[in-house]
Structure 1
C-alpha cells in the first residue's frame, strides 16, 4: 500500500516527540467540521516545548488533510505591513493588502491552519490581529498563537470572541514522559529518575541534562527553581565544551538576537566565520532560523549573565562589535529588511526604558484600541478629572474634528481606563489651531524648523490615565507601547514627535535619556497650569537611526561623521566642527537623503534657492570645504559621476 509522504512525516515527528498527547488532541479537534474554536492561544514558560508542540501538531494536521502555514514571529516586523508581507511570502501570494491576503489564505485549502510561534514578540500587533485581520479570515481557517505569556484579557472578555477563542496552558511533562525523554537520549533509567527529580519535567532542562550527564555522571543539583536549574545546567554544559573558539562563539551568540556569519566575524576577529557557524549550528542549544542561528532564550540569558559577571569587558566588546556590524549592514538594507536590524539593535540595548517600550516583558493585561463613538463620554470624563475646563474643551474639539486620532485603553472588563490623542501634522487644518494654543505653538515651531520633504510629523496632543492622569502607570505604559507601534508603521518616514506634559520633573529624566528636547518658546498655560512642550527629532534615519544612536550612547561608541542638526556642527572623531550656512545646507540636504544620489541642480535649488543653470561650481566648492572639515571621514560625501553627490554613513 502506497502511503503519503505527509503521513510518514507526521509519524517521524510524532516518534521523536514525547508526551503532550492531550494537548495535541485538543488542537486537532479545532479541525473538526463542528468545532467552534477559531483561535487557540498556547502559552507556557521558556523551554516548556511550545515550538516542538506546534511542529508535531502541524505534521499531524497535514496528515489529516489540512493546509498548514507556519510563521515565526521573531522575523516579522510588528506592523500590519510587516505581517502581511511575511504571510504573503509564506503562501506565495504577491498581494500586500491585508484583505486580499486573508482571502487568499482562506482559499489555499479546505481546512487551513495558521500558526504564529514566539507570539510574545508581537505585542505591538495583538490588537490589530484581534480586531482586524483574524476576523477577516474565512471560517475554514484556524489560528494557533504560541508564546510565553497568557493572552490579553480582551480575547476572553470581548463578546464577539465568546466561544471562538480558547487557551491552552503548557506545563511540565509528567514523570513517565520526562524519564522516557532522558532514556531515549541515552541516559540510564536510574540517572533519568534522579535527574528528573530536579528537572521536574521541564523539557529544556531535560535536554540540557541529557547533553551534560554523559560527561558528568555525578551530576547533582539541589531542589531549586527551574530557571536556576537551567542556568546551572547551562554552566555545566559550557564547561564541557573543549574547543575555546566554540566556547567564545557561544558567548558571542548570547549577546545578539540572532547569530550570523558576518556577526561572528565582527565579534571574533580570529575566527573562521563559516566554520564556527557550522559548529555552533550542530550544538543542541542553538537552532537554525531563517535569519541565522537562534539560541534558546533561557540559555542565552544564562550565558550572557555569566559572561557579564565574569568578564564585563569582553561582554561589552562583543556588543560594540555587533553594533558596528549591524549599523553597517542596516545602512545598505532594503526597507523590507530594516526590521531585522531594528530588532537586532533593540536586543543590544540594555536600557529598560527603551526595550520595554518595544518589547515589554510580562503579560499585557490592558488592550489599546481605536476609540469608538461611544467612548467619547469616558474620554471626556477622564480629561475633566485631571485637566481644567479650557483644556478639556480643547480635547473635546479635537474629538469632534478628528475622532480617529483617539485610542483608548481598556481593562479586563472592557472599561475605558485611559486614552491618548495623536495627530498627523499634515492632516491638521490650520483653522483648527486657533482653538488649541499648544498645537499652534508646535505648528509654529515646525514652520520655523521645517521637517524634510516627505517626512512625517506627529503631535501627541494628550495622554491620560483614569486614576493617575499623567503619572507613570500600567495604563501609561500601554499607551506608549501602542504609540511605538505607530512609530514602526511610519518608519522610515517618521521624523518628529511633539509632546506636552504638565508634570515635567517626572518625565524630564526619561525624556533626556531618549533624546526628547524642550521647546522653550512653546510652553503654554491653560486654566493656570503650565504645559511644557518638547520634541523628539528622530533624525534622517528615522526610528532606526534614532535607536542606533541610543545604543551607541549606551555603549560609549562615537558615531563619526554625524551631523548635529540642532548645533549646525559636524561630529568628527569625538570633536565638533562648526559649519557656515552653505556648508550646513549642503551637508543637511545630503545627510537627510542618505544613500541617494543628489544632483547639483537639486542642491542649488534647495540650498541656494535658485534654478541651476549649469556651468557653476558653487556646489563643488562647498563640498571641497566640507570634506576638508570632515578630515578622515571625508569619504562619507561621495561623488556620483555625472550626477552630483551622495552621503553614505561611515
Structure 2
C-alpha cells in the first residue's frame, strides 16, 4: 500500500486531501469570504459568484465549505442540479439556516433556480437571521432586479470568477504532475481555464515530458464540449456557435450574411445570453477555451464544412472591406486577418486600441528617422529620409492616441515606371523593378505597389503591426490596377511567417550591414479573394507554394495594344468557332475565369460586354452598330449601315466608338477580374 494513503480514515478524507493539494490561486475570493465569515453583519451577507462553466465556481464553493467548517460554522450546501426546485423543497433543504446561529448557505448552479429566483430574493433570503452568510454561484450574473434594488446594494457582492493568472495555471499543472516541457502547449490551449487545464493534465500527465508539440486529444475536446457548451436548440444554432468560434467577434449582421436562411436577430440574442459569451467593442465572442474546442471539434468532425465556412467568411469580409469606407474597411480587414493569422502569433487581439492611423505631419520627421535607425540601420534611415522628401504622401503614421507621437509607420509606394534616381538611392526598389520586369511587366493602367517600410517602436505582434497588416491587405483588395505587391521585411525571423504571401522565396537585398527580404505577388493573374480562398484555415494543411525558380504563368498577360487587337479579331471571327479557338484572348484571365469551355467562354465574355453598352442610353447606338456588324451575319459594313438606316460615315463613327468602348470595358475586367 502506498504509505501516503495509510493515514486516511475514509475515501472522502482522501478525496478532500487531493483536492486541497491541487487547489491554487483565488486569493482575492478567499479573502472576501473570510472577511464575511468574521462578521457577515458588517460585511456582505450574500455573495454571488458568476462565471462560465468550468471556471472553478464549484471548486471555490467546496473550499468555502471547508473554511466555514474550520471556523466552527454550520454549512448548508444545495446543488441546483439535484432534487426539486420549488420553494417548498428549497425551504426544506435550507431549514438548518434558521436553527443554527451564523450558518453558511452555499448554493451551486444557481441558474437552475431561475423559476423561483424572485421568491428567493423577495421572500426567503430576507428572513435569514442576522449573521447568516449566503454564497450563490451560477453561470449568469444576477438579474437586474438584484442590482437595481437599493436594499440589496449594501448586502450583495457580485464576484466575477475569471481565468487563473498564468502563475496559478502553471502551479495547477505542476500539482497535477504535468512535465514542465508540456506546460507551454497546454497553456496555449487552455489558458487559465481550470477545467480545461485539469482535463488536459489528466490526459498528458504520464507523457514523456519532452514532446512539446501537444494538441488536445479528442476525448478532452468532447468532454469540454459536453460540460461547457452542452446541448444546443437546433443545427442552425450549432452553426452560429461554430461561426462565432472561428471569427474574431460576431455581430447580427455577420450572422445575417453567412446564415441567410436563419433568423439572425434571434440567433444573436441566443448567443448573447450564453454564459461563456463575452462582450467586445465590435460584437461578442466566446471564452477562449470555448472558441478553441468548438473550432477543433468542427475541423475534426466535418473538415469539408469547416473549410466551406472559412471560405464563406473570407468572401463576407472581403466584400465588406471593398464596399466600406476606411474606418469600416479597417475593422473588417482586421476581422479577415484574424481568420488568416489566429494562432500564428502574428495577430495581436485587442479591444481598445491605443494607436490610430494618421497622415504625415510636419513634426514627425525626426521620430520617423529615429525609428528607422533603431529598427534597421543608418543606411535605411537615409533611404527613408529620401522618400520623406520625394513622396511624403506615401507615409501612413500610426500615432499613440494619448501622446500623439508616432508609434510606427508604413511607407507604401505606388509606382508606374522605374525611375533612375529612385533606383540608385534605394536598392530594394531597384530589385523589385528588376524582378517584376523579368516575370511579368506592367501594362497600361497598372502599377507596382511596394510596401517599403513597416516599422514600429515596439516589437511585433503589436497594435501597430495589426494596423500595418490591415493597410497592406486593404491595398490589395481595394486598389484598382495593382499588378504586383511587394513586401519588404526587415526581420529575417518573420520571412517564413509571411512566406504565404510571396510567390517565391524571399529575394535577399543588402542595405548596409542589414539584409532585407522582398516578397512579391502578382495580381495580374488572380484576384485577392480567389487567392485568400485558396489559403486553408489554420487547422488544415496549407497548399504547397510554388518555388521561385519554377514560376509558371496560369494566364497569358497581353499588352494593351495586343489585347485590343485580339478583341477586334475575336469580334470579326464571331461566327467562326475554329478562329475563335485560336484567339490570343483564350488564355487570358478575362476568358479563363468565364468558364471551362474556351470558345463558349470567349463568346460569353464578348456578348456580356457588348450588352453592357445597351444598358446605357448614351451607348445604345454603339451597341446596335457592333451587334449588326459582327453578330448578325451582315456581309459588309455598307450593308450594316443600310440595315441601321444610317449614313455610312455616321455608322463608321458609331462602330469605332463602340469598339473602343468594348475594348476599354474588357481591359478593365482583365485587370480587375469580376470587379467591373
What is the TM-score of this pair, normalised by structure 2?
0.45
Larger radius of gyration: 2
Return the structure number with greater relative CO, CA threshold 8 A, min gap 6.
1
